[in-house]
Amino acid sequence: MRGRVLVAKPGLDGHDRGAKVVAYALRDAGFEVIYTGIRQRTADIVTVAVQEDVDVIGLSVLSGAHVELTEDIRRRLAAVDAEEIPIVVGGAIPRGDRERLLQVGAAAVFPTGSAVDDVVGTVGELCAQRMASR
């Protein structure tokens, strides 16, 4: 097992094609994947992440609210002393927002058009770091 990953869809957008493709690719690559389903409240995503003791949280956002949602999850993780869980964000993300996302605490950003192999590679590195530091 290469790590436990929570694939989560915060906000109201229901487009889960990307989230599921990434989830399938991670599972194929030997990760344990927990999928939240769509339209999850940020508070619930954080609760699941902590309860399931995941190594990485993957967020998929296509509505444009990626910065606000990432910031919110980051804040909620900090509030329960779980800010060490890295967040990877994918979706319809303008280039200019990449830096913003990294600033508000994303560990990596994968805009539409990213290769799935790159996502798997990055998640693998983040999981390895997390497991080594435990």
Q: How far is the CB of 34 from another protein (least distance, A)?
A: 8
Nearer to another protein, 81 or 96 (CB): 96
Assign residue 7 a region (left: φ > 0; alpha: ψ between -120 and 50; beta: otherwise): beta
Q: For residue 40, how far is the Cα from the chain centroid?
A: 13
Q: How far is the CB of 13 from another protein (least distance, A)?
A: 6
Footprint of another protein (CB under 8 A): 11-17, 20-21, 23-25, 33, 35-39, 63-65, 68-69, 92-96, 111-113, 115-117
Q: Phi and psi at residue 67, in whole multiples of 5°?
A: -65, -50
Nearer to another protein, 69 or 88 (CB): 69
Q: How far is the CB of 133 from another protein (least distance, A)?
A: 29
Q: How far apart are CA 99 and CA 12, in angstroms?
A: 24
Number of neighbours of residue 54 by Cβ within 10 angstroms: 24
